[in-house]
Amino acid sequence: QIDMKTRLIGSNLIYYPSIDSTNNEAKKEAAAGAPEGTVIIADEQTGGRGRLGRQWVSPKGTGIWMSIILKPELEPAEAAKITQLTAASVATALRNVTGCEAGIKWPNDIIINKKKVCGILTEMSAELNSVNHIIVGMGINVNVDPEEFPEEVRSIATSVKESVGHEIYRKEIVLEILRIFEDLYLDFIRRKSIDKSVGICRKYSVTLGNQVRIISKDKVVYAEAVDLTEDGELLIRNEAGEIEKIISGEVSVRGV
Ligand code: BTN
């Protein structure tokens, strides 16, 4: 049982010992009318999903596999702002609770010691010009042991435990994430600006100042990541020296 300190995010919290995917479950709940701020959390996922159709390994008892249902009045193109807000929340919470130096790899990975500790999967249901709901899912490797990662990601994945050297109580991290998320989300709704989240993403960015390889539609572009816009989009300097705005797409960062 969790003693909530928030009034919107997590005030309706649904826990599963095991489920296919908290994002799938959140989608069903949202369609069935679950209120904004509903949180779905599982101790294990049997069909955890990552971005780009990838699998997300979610072993029992060692991670935070969690999704939040949001119903903001947004245009579909703005959904990526929620990803930035989530990255800011997770990085800050991990730092506050464990003292680790969590960084943010734009747009949706949290990094410790150059390895991925958390991925974010934002999905939405939208009509032509407005969002019905957004599901933001986060998978955080908290007490996962390195050998539990699939062979092919072992060299690029890490856990909080691996970096701080001891197990961390997952509940403490969950509560801190929800607290910070609520703060940033309510501020975003009230002021219609995510500058607060973007400020955090900028401060903890491991992308800015580095060379990035941007892969979109079979095209690979090399560039320097220069800054984030106040909406959380990435500004790069391309090979011709011009500044370009990157809104989404798969971005992989070299040199981090
Ligand atoms: C990625 O980096 O590719 C995103 C990973 C997102 C994983 C989380 S775990 C909770 C939620 N439910 C899922 O099936 N996926 C997300």
Q: Are residues 24 and 48 in the same domain?
A: yes
7 close to ligand 1 (CB < 6 Angstrom) = no
Residue 54: strand, helix, or coil: coil
What ipTM does this complex have?
0.99
- pLDDT confidence of residue 226: 96
**Are β-strands 63-70 and 39-42 bridged in parallel, bridged antiparallel, or unpaired?**
antiparallel
- pLDDT confidence of residue 250: 62
pLDDT digits (tens, 9 = 90+) for 43-60: 999 999 999 889 999 999
Residue 46 lies in a domain: yes
Q: At which residue do the structure tokens 């999967």 appear? A: 121
Give the residue ranges of DSSP H helices in the chain: 22-31, 80-98, 160-164, 170-191, 195-203
Q: What are phi and psi of 195, to 5 degrees?
A: -60, -30
59 close to ligand 1 (CB < 6 Angstrom) = no
Percentage helix, strand, coil, to 5, in the chain?
30, 30, 40
Q: Are residues 60 and 83 in the same domain?
A: yes
Residue 103 lies in a domain: yes
The CATH number of residue 231's host domain is 2.30.30.100
Q: Are residues 131 and 216 in the same domain?
A: no
Rounded mean pLDDT for each run of 10 residues along the chain, 256 residues in total: 81 97 98 97 98 93 98 93 97 97 96 97 93 97 93 94 96 97 97 97 96 81 93 93 82 59
Residue 7 lies in a domain: no
Ligand 1, residue 66: give the atom nearest the CA: 10
Ligand 1, residue 23: give the atom nearest the CA: 12
Q: Are residues 130 and 249 in the same domain?
A: no
10 close to ligand 1 (CB < 6 Angstrom) = no
Predicted TM-score (pTM) of this structure: 0.96
Q: Are residues 118 and 197 in the same domain?
A: yes
Which residues form the domain of 217?
A: 211-253
Q: Which residue of 21, 24, 49 sits with most ligand 1 atoms within 8 Å of its CB, as the best mutation to test the pocket? A: 49
Q: Which residue of 65, 83, 149, 159 sits with most ligand 1 atoms within 8 Å of its CB, as the best mutation to test the pocket? A: 65
Q: Are residues 199 and 221 in the same domain?
A: no
Q: Are residues 167 and 64 in the same domain?
A: yes
List the beta bridge partners of residue 40: 14, 67
51 assigned ligand-binding residue: yes
Residue 1 lies in a domain: no
229 assigned ligand-binding residue: no
- pLDDT confidence of residue 249: 58
pLDDT digits (tens, 9 = 90+) for 158-202: 999 999 999 999 999 999 999 999 999 999 999 999 999 999 999
21 assigned ligand-binding residue: yes
Q: Are residues 129 and 232 in the same domain?
A: no
